[in-house]
Each structure stands twice: as structure tokens, then as C-alpha cells.
Structure 1
Amino acid sequence: MTLATELGMLGRYRLRSRLASGGMAELFLAVLPGAEGFEKPVVIKRMLPRLAAQETYRQMFAQEARLMATFGHAHVVSALDFGVEQDSPYLVLEYVDGVDLGRVLGARRTLPPPLVRYVGLSLLHALEHVHGLRDARGELLGIVHRDISPANVLLGRTGNVKLTDFGIAKGLRTPSHTAPGSTRGRLRYMSPEQVQGGPLDGRADLFSLAVLLYEAVVGQGPFSATNDAQLLLAVRDARLAPTEDLRRTAGPALADVLLRALRRHPSERYATAGEMARALAAVDGTGESEQPWRVAEVVADTLTSEGTAPAASRGAGNRGPFSAALLELREDDS
């Protein structure tokens, strides 16, 4: 039997339930057992055996693990361990009890502007950390997430906001597994330079984040298109839909921050995540201290509306307490 059906142990981790399976990996809810009944919940991303035999995919998987090992921030999901069992690599990740932002927006379509601002600030602090990481010699690693989207933003029951899924993240000295001129990521959240397959820096992530925040406050993205071909051209040219809905819903100050980040040329956007965070922080922050519990409230409402069962009672084929979009389990995620 395989671990996917038998569960049991994977290295020193006890598998509790299988959350999802995709083209590249399986996702498990697990615990690290210890003495006197100690158990620490974790999430395990295990590479599928058929891909583990291929060196290119193994290197992609190991690359993700090495990148995540450098992170250490309250708003970034942590990598806790990496190992190989039965010749299949696995990555152990921090467990976030909650839902992803995509599920929240699917259930309620929009969030109030103060909450959008809070989520945006949390993610900008995460990106400021990731973009600013340096190696032992003090040189920038140049990490770009490349896949900022609602599915990769986790909201916890306790009000925490976490950025996840660095499966297609790229650093300055990270080997590329993407053919020249091709792209990785979700089209509707890409930057113009990413759509064109050009070189990327942190400003591409800021564009993607602005698309996400625009969608969260308005209820739809900033591009008008009826098919992928139209969407690709709209993203390539940063051709935005009329902004009246954004200004009316978000207010002029928040709208101005998002619209600057959505400019076509990277040089016209904010230079860094820190600069964009300062601009967003200057937007009226009424109720700032209330936002973490409002996140928790939104998570609870979403889980209630979905009728999500407690983790211990779910079957192996069901989603976890957070979305399986902790990672998009696709073969081409790198």
C-alpha cells in the first residue's frame, strides 16, 4: 500500500489525513509526536513517486525547500523540515488553521476596505522580508514569489495572515526550470513583464498584490476581458477597467495606492514593498487594532458557511481546515 491510502508514519511524522493530491505532490495533515503525549501539528508536502525519479523535478522540489528555509517572518509560512522517505522527498511546513483568501472571497465576494488594508500591509511586510533576504556574504538573494494570488494567502482562525507557496519563486542565483519566453503563475494576477516572459524583480510581486487587493475590495479584478486572449493583452498593457468602482468602494487614498502599483512599467510603481507599505499605512487606519479579530471572524464565517468539519473528523479525500491551495499541486510549478 502507498502512504496515501495507508497513512501511518512518514519519517518521524504521523500522517493524520490526506488533504489533496495534484500533478506534482500530495498534501497531508500530520503531527510530530513526542514524549508524554506531545504532538505538534504540521503540513507535509510529499512529492509523487513517479516524479521523484526525475532529477529535474527533484531539483525543483529541493529548490523550494532551500528557499523556504531562509524565511523567518510572522507573515510567511515556515518550512520546518525536509527529508526523503522511500526515495520520495517531502517538505514539512507550518500548520495554519484557517482558510485561504480565495475561499473567503468565494464565500463573500468582497472585504471591507480597512480589512483589505490590513491584509495588504501584512503581505507587504512578508514581501519586504522575502525580497530583502541576503546570503552569508551580504548579497541580495533577489527572491521573487511570482505567484501572489488569493489561493496563496492563508487566514488563520486566530487572525493571522500568511503568505505561502514558493513553489515557483525565483532568486537571482536560483537555477531556472522555465523555458525562455514562457511564464509560470496565474494569468489574472501576473504583472505585464511576467506575461511577456521578461526578467522580474520584487516590483512584479507588488503589481500582483495590487491586483489581489483590488479584487478583494471591489469584488472583481482590474481587467475587463471575456476570454484568456483578451485578458493576456489587458495584463500585458496594464489596461485597467474604469476605476470608478474602485474609488467609490475603496476610497480615493486606498485607490491611489493600488493604482500606482498597477502601472505598466515597473519604474512607475513603488520601488520596494517597504515603500508601498508606508503608502498603505498612511491610508486612514480606523479600527487598526480590530483587524486581527475581524480576520478571525471572517475565517469562522467562511468555515461555518461551508460546513467544514473539524480536522480530526474529515475523510482522507477532503480539504483541510485551510485550503489545499497552500500550494497549487501542479507538475509545472517552478
Structure 2
Amino acid sequence: MKMQVKADLMMVVVVIFWGSSYVFMKMGLDSIDGFNLIGLRFAIAFLFAGLIFYKKLMKLDLKTIKYGAILGFVLFLSFSFITFGVKSTSASNAGFLVSLAVIFVPILSAVFLKEKLNTRVLFGICLAFLGIGLLTVNTQLQINTGDALCILGALFYAIYILVTGTLTKHVDSLSLGIVQLGFAGFFGLVSSIVSTETTTLPNSEASWIAILSLGIFCSAIGFTVQTISQKYTTPTNTGLIFSLEPVVAVVFAFVLLGETMTAQGYLGATILLAGVLVSKIDFKKVILKGSRDHHLNSKL
């Protein structure tokens, strides 16, 4: 039990890092371009994680490198959409829209893996899409480019989750996690060089803080700690903790950027979050387990 509590606390820290990442992306994009930011973020993450777990990298095989390249590319695509989306929407909106990955996973599983969608998940999906409408659609019934890109980013992150679940069964998950960061950084820097961007290092203290925070805390520590922590806790706990990410994003966006949402936006965000929670967590099982535990404790 003590190990589970530690794992849950570690994941809360990860969620705080990830919730803050949307603000740091906005800060970084003030002085450097999107692909450049992605390249630097994941290159720093790879170097930081690689230095800590260098013994793992010394034992790499071709299969891990190949799988790392695949995952790194999907991760790069996901964060490309998210990063460019953040550039033209609020950090608050981005946080909620990216959480849609939880909704897209069962939809993609149903389409490609022929897994059945139960009533609870279908209800959660309906709630989430209602929330999206309230959060993103304006009076002209249009969705802005940044919101659309963040939704695409969530879709590709769902693909990343499914591909990761398959590939980690065949190689060491921690080694794979580190290698994917290197490839994501490589694809980002190459895209920056071959595009019309000016590939450069950050030119201000705020930009350096943003890039280093994204690279070290949000990526290197975040992805590594998530991999380790999920071995020692339950899927229900994981789902509950990760559902807090958009809430953390709103808090950071308000405190550091002064962002607020309209009443309709807050309503949409709340409904979207409810949809994510309903689709991810079987509350009936949680309640039954809680009452059963209480009954056992009362007997003792």
C-alpha cells in the first residue's frame, strides 16, 4: 500500500508538470518557432534522461531503436499539432482539448481492434463531444484553427497510447521511453531546418526557462516517472489523477498568463471533463469496492 501511495503522489507531480506545459509552450513560442521548440524540448529531454539512465542505453538493441523511431515519430506528430494549436488558442482550451485522447482511445480501439464500446464509455464520449461544442464553437458555428489542431493532437496522442501499449510488450519500456524522446527531438529539429523556420536557441531568460521546463520536467521526468509509477498503482487511480491535467492547466494559465474563459467555456470544459471521467473510470466498481472495504474495516 505504501508503494501505491508513493506512485500516486509521483503521478500527481507528473500531472502538475504536464498541466503547466501549455503555459510553457506559449512562453517558448514567443521567441522560437514551433518545430524548433519541439526539437529542443525533446532533445533536452533525451539528453537529461539519457544521462540518468545511461546504463540502459548501453544495452540497446536494434528492435528497441526501431520501435523508438516509430513511437518518436507518432509523438512528434502529436506534439506538432498541440504546439501549433497552442500558438492560436488559449492554454486553458488546449489543456481540456488534449485530454480528449482518453476519449479517442476507446473509439480507435473499437474501429481498428474491434473492441466493443460499453454504455458507460458511449455516454462519456457523448458528454465529451457536447463539451467540445460548448468550449470551442463560436457564435458563427465555427471552430478556430488552434482548437482544431489541439483536437488533432489529442487524436494522435491516442494513437501513440495504443501503439505504445503494443510495442512495450516486446522491449524494455524504460529504454524505449528514452529512445522515443531522442527520435521526437530529431524529427522536430529536422522539420525546423527543412521548413521556413529559423532554427535557433532561445534568446531570452523566459524562453530558456520555458524550454528547459518543457524538456526536463514535462518530458524527461514526466514520461519516465509515468512509466515507473503505473506499475505500482491501479488503472482507476491513474485515470482519476490524469483527469486533473486540464484543471491544472487552467490554474497555471490564470496565474501566469491571466487567462479566463467565458461562462459557456467553463460549462463546456466541465462537461468535457465529466465525459473523460465517465469513459475512463467505472464509478460503480469504485463505489462497490469502497463499501466493501468499509464493511471489512468495520468488522475488524
- Point out which structure has higher relative CO (alpha carbons under 8 A, 6+ apart): 2
- 1 or 2, which has the higher helix percentage? 2
TM-score, length of structure 2 as denominator length = 0.31
TM-score (norm 1): 0.29
